[in-house]
Amino acid sequence: MKFFVRKALHVLAAGIAVSLPACVQEVSGCTAAIVSARASASGRPLLWKNRDTSAIDNKVEYIAAAHPGELAFVALFNASDRDCLEAWAGMNSAGFAVMNTASYNLNDGKVPQKDMDREGYVMTLALKHCRSVDDFESLLSSLPRPMGVEANFGVMDASGAGAFFETGNDFFTRYDLADAADGVLVRTNYSHSGRPGEGFGQIRERNALELLRPYMGHASLSPSVFTEELSCSFYHSLHGRDMLAPDAEWIVDQDFIPRFTTTASVVIEGVVPAERIMEDSGRDYVMWTALGYPPCAEVVPVWCDPQGVDPELRGLEEDGTSAMCNRAKARKAEVFCAPDGNASRYIYIPALCGDKGYLSRFRRLNYETYAKLRRH
């Protein structure tokens, strides 16, 4: 572990020095959850991230281990990140997985912005080196202060353990999945250990908890609940109902889980804890991936394997973007099409609803994708 810590510190420092100007802050936040094996339908733990960011072009890449002691991994990256330095969600060949949501109620603002937004580097380090939730805690403990982060890091490992680490520049607070009475932890863009009444995403957190409630206590949560329901739901907890009325034409895009800034939905499905993963057996667990605005996006399984990433998810287009993400972006433009400079604020309901709307079309397709893999 001491070697691992020294190596991690060296890599983090080098990565920051070289690439800090290219950092993309998760300014719009995200919605995320960790589900224990006892709460899932398959007996496998789940880790979900609905990614919101200003970086609208995303891709998925497999990264081989480059040095002895490192682990191979697959992860979600910004398409502009040609060197794949900043991972935003991913899993490695030891069965460890990590993601994050931005937090806005932990730090005091004393660290200059130029020294912030290092979350993607930290997650890349974790994927290269961590095998367990405890390893991730050791990594955070070893990093130089200030860490340059303000985030809720969600992690799980092949033993079935999971935790959120609410992490500021100089400290972190660990929330273990084992302590969650219903076997589920949810986070948005504030930290439960942070300053009360500050941060963002409280309504989205309540949206997620209400949508999950029917599944609580029944061991019935599955990846499709997250990609096809939560990431595609227009439920609003203040109104207590789904706001996507089929007879309406427009609704304001405000405080839903899927938003104009949503660029991906990812669910990492771990292994049954009793079946401890063997090194490099990367097809024992799956990263279900929807690139683009989830109501318009295809779900594709990804494995931690050199051939485990569909080429259309990868940044193989001439400009480094993903073909699948580009198609989803084109469909999203039909949903956010209000005139007079208001495209990002209003949802055009006819593009989503009805038999030919994107919601029903892609739900059918995605449920078929889930069923096909289950049959095999």
Q: Which of 141, 94, 145 is nearest to 280 (CA)?
A: 94
Q: Which of 75, 51, 59 is nearest to 317 (CA)?
A: 59
Total Cβ atoms within 10 A of residue 16:
17
pLDDT tens, N- to C-terminus, the chain (376 residues): 444 445 555 555 444 433 333 444 445 679 999 999 999 999 999 999 999 999 999 999 999 999 999 999 999 999 999 999 999 999 999 999 999 999 999 999 999 999 999 999 999 999 999 999 999 999 999 999 999 999 999 999 999 999 999 999 999 999 999 999 999 999 999 999 999 999 999 999 999 999 999 999 999 999 999 999 999 999 999 999 999 987 889 999 999 999 999 999 999 999 887 676 665 555 679 999 999 999 999 999 999 999 999 999 999 999 999 999 999 999 999 999 999 999 999 999 999 998 889 999 999 999 999 999 887 6
For residues 129 and 7, the answer to whether their CB atoms sit within 8 Å is: yes
pLDDT score at 284? 79
Q: Can you tell me the distance from the alpha carbon of 301 to that of 358, in angstroms, rounded to the nearest whole number?
A: 20
Burial of residue 82, with CB atoms counted within 10 A of its CB: 0-12 exposed, 13-18 middle, 19 or more buried: exposed
**What angle is formed at CA 26 by the lines to CA 333 and CA 158, rounded to 5 degrees?**
105
Q: Can you tell me the distance from the alpha carbon of 129 to that of 142, in angstroms, rounded to the nearest whole number?
A: 13
End-to-end CA distance of the chain: 39
Q: Give the CATH number for residue 22.
A: 3.60.60.10
Q: DSSP of 165-228, one letter per residue?
A: EEE-SS-EEEEEGGG-TTSEEEE-BS-TTS-TT-SB-HHHHHHHHHHHGGGTTTT-B-HHIIII
Range of the domain at 365: 2-375
Length of the chain: 376
pTM for the model stands at 0.93
- Give the total number of structural domains in the chain: 1
